[in-house]
Chains A and B, each alone.
Chain A
Amino acid sequence: MSEMKATRVAYGEALVELGAVNDKIVVLDADLSGSTNTAKFAKAYPDRFFNAGIAEANMMGMAAGLATMGYIPFTSTFAMFGTGRAYEQVRNGIGYPHLNVKLAMSHAGITLGEDGGSHQAIEDIGLMRLIPGMTIVVPCDANETKKAVKALVEMEGPAYLRLARLPSIVFEDEMPFTLGQANVLRDGTDAVIFCCGYMVAGCLEAAKRLAMENISVAVVNVHTIKPIDRETVLTYARKCGKVLTAEEHSTIGGLGDAVADVLIGQGSFSFRKIGIQDRFGQSGKPADLLREYGLTEEDICQAVKAL
């Protein structure tokens, strides 16, 4: 596990690769194409790139219009603005009419770091989950991001892809990727961790450490948060009885709630959520912020033991 790459970088590369074979793909950005990595697509296919300027609401409308003309628009900006500021445009202009627009938003979560709480989207998954018919994917590394982008091109309908600023581990093992199908990365019997995105690597490391203490922990990468893989969630929750969810997102509205929604009424489970505990983010180095907000390997180990 040596290579480090941000999911946003992989996204930019995937757009260029897929843009070469599919001329229906168009890309929109709101003056952040360098940060979101859509600038690569803009350079390769200038006719199919539209900069909306610093006007996210209009960008969503333009994407909706392009979708009605048979194109597959990818819109990118920071997750804060793409899902927050332009929420109602996404909801009414894209979600309500089920248009084939892909919202690929970068700099999600607190690992955005130094820019601080105003720019750290910790509620984006929740906002997108509230929209009927919205597919939500949170890839854990660069390889999964590329597969996810391809899968989103191949599916019809609105989707949200959550991307990160921070370079993260690229897993050596090539994981399978099927939209809507969670990946069991490590089997276990005492507890299961359902996780996504940046947290996946930490959860795997935590599980290894716990194994040395004879605690057998399953790690399931729930890359598709909506529609969630109910079957895998139920199977592993029933098998292990103790359930932890881990996400770089508010504990309100995200993966933890999505898993809880599956488990309600399905039996008795010991259940905890790791995430941002109803606080705003703040400036800091990503590693310091992960410690401050309780998202480290150590926090995961302790949470499993507390189940």
Chain B
Amino acid sequence: MNRLELEATCKQVRRDIINMTADACSGHPGGSLSATEILVALYCREMNISPEKMNDPDRDRFVLSKGHAAPALYGLLGELGYFDKSAFKTFRQLGSILQGHPCRDYCPGVEVSTGSLGQGISIAVGMALGARLAKSPARIFALCGDGELQEGQVWEASMAAAHYKLDNFTVIVDHNGLQIDGTNDEVMSLGDIQGKFRAFGYEVIQIDGHDFDQIFAAFDRKVTGKPKLILAETIKGKGVSYMENQVGWHGKGPNEEERQIALKELED
């Protein structure tokens, strides 16, 4: 995919996020919109994965540790043909393949079940250990939220990733600065995120999480003998003016009027 196609895909995924959360009258648009470029960069260029390779043992793996950003993942998987896009309308409804948080038993293309924060990174560490044991070239990518870093398990997993020198493992932190009850600093300060991960043994790269040049440069950085952490500075609600940097748009769907405003802003 070239740059224009990547950007067009982001707009389409953002429209999907708005439509899914509006149809469901629930869901998490803010943290889905902040993660869109990262997801598109992974699935459309960086990772060795496609609907045809869903059972290839050597495919790259993605773990959405911040499982509440499911609308972004679903939107992208649907656009790429992992399942029929008609499922978008069923998001969060009884019997849907699109559960409120991703579950591998329900949705094609979802590698693990996430949603309970802090657990995805551990699972990804296990995948990276498994890939290495199997002598597979598969690389493992995990995306977590910034508020999620408050979970102690993140640091247990980070210790293990460094201990086992997992250089087939990349964590991306979607640092939009907001969580349910307010800003990270109001709720529970994260302090020096880069310093913390460096101290745990990661190669740390800070980028603008909406800038494809910086995202790909971070992916391209060769790191051996240790895991990589990409601290992606993002804007919660990115692309929809009234949602940007608004904590209130963490976990609710837009109403019909708000949907139309958002879709207009997200036109090609």
Q: Do A and B come from one complex?
A: yes
Which A residues have a C-beta under 8 Å from some C-beta of B? 26, 47-48, 50, 52-53, 55, 57-58, 60-71, 73, 88-89, 92-93, 96-98
Q: Which residues of A contact B164 (CB under 8 A)?
A: 50
* Minimal beta-carbon separation of B98 from chain A (angstroms): 16
Interface size on B, as a range, is 35 or more
Give bound CA distance, A280 to B68, whole Å: 38
The answer on a CB contact under 8 Å between B124 and A88 is no
Q: Which residue in A58, A65, A88, A98 is a CB contact (below 8 Å) of B130?
A: A65
User: Is A93 in contact with B123, judged by CB distance below 8 angstroms?
Assistant: yes
Q: Of B103, B122, B156, which is within 8 A of A65 by CB?
A: B122
Interface centre among A26, A65, A89, A93 (most CB of B within 10 A): A65
Q: List 28 A-B contacts (CB under 8 A).
A: A26-B133, A48-B133, A52-B160, A55-B156, A57-B118, A58-B122, A61-B120, A61-B122, A61-B123, A61-B126, A62-B125, A62-B129, A63-B126, A65-B127, A65-B130, A66-B126, A66-B127, A68-B111, A69-B57, A69-B131, A69-B133, A88-B116, A89-B119, A89-B153, A92-B115, A92-B116, A93-B122, A97-B103
Measured CB to CB, the closest approach of chain B to A101, in angstroms, equals 10
CB distance from A156 to the nearest CB of B (A): 14
- Interface residues in B149-164 by Cβ distance below 8 A to A read 152-153, 156-157, 159-160, 163-164
Chain A proximity of B161: nearest CB distance (Å): 10
CA separation between A93 and B115, bound complex, in Å?
10
B-side interface residues toward A, CB under 8 Å? 57, 61, 103-105, 111-113, 115-116, 118-131, 133-134, 136, 152-153, 156-157, 159-160, 163-164
* B112, B127, B136, B153: the one within 8 Å of A57 (CB): B153
**Contact status A69-B125, CB under 8 Å:** no
Contact A65 B160 (CB under 8 A): no
Are the CB atoms of A68 and B119 closer together than 8 Å? no
Q: Is the CB of B156 within 8 A of A57?
A: yes
Interfacial chain B residues near A50, Cβ < 8 Å:
129, 164
Q: Is the CB of A96 within 8 A of B159?
A: no
- CB distance B130 to A61 under 8 Å? no
Identity of the chain A residue whose Cβ is nearest the Cβ of B67 in the assembled complex: A92
Give the chain A neighbours of B156 by CB distance below 8 A. Answer: 52-53, 55, 57-58
State A58–B123 Cα separation when bound (angstroms): 8
- Inter-subunit contact A65/B153 (CB<8 Å): no
Contact of B125 among A58, A71, A92 (CB under 8 A): A58
Kindly list chain B residues whose C-beta atoms are within 8 Å of the C-beta of A73.
126
Residues of A with C-beta under 8 A to B61: 68
Partner of A70, one of B57, B115, B122: B57
Q: How far is the CA of A65 from the CA of B133 in the complex (A)?
A: 12
Tell me whether B113 and A66 are in contact (CB under 8 A).
no
Q: Which residues of A contact B103 (CB under 8 A)?
A: 96-97
Q: Which residue of B lies closest to A89 (CB)?
A: B119
Partner of A89, one of B122, B160, B163: B122
B131 touches A57 (CB 8 A): no
Contact A65 B113 (CB under 8 A): no
Chain B proximity of A251: nearest CB distance (Å): 31
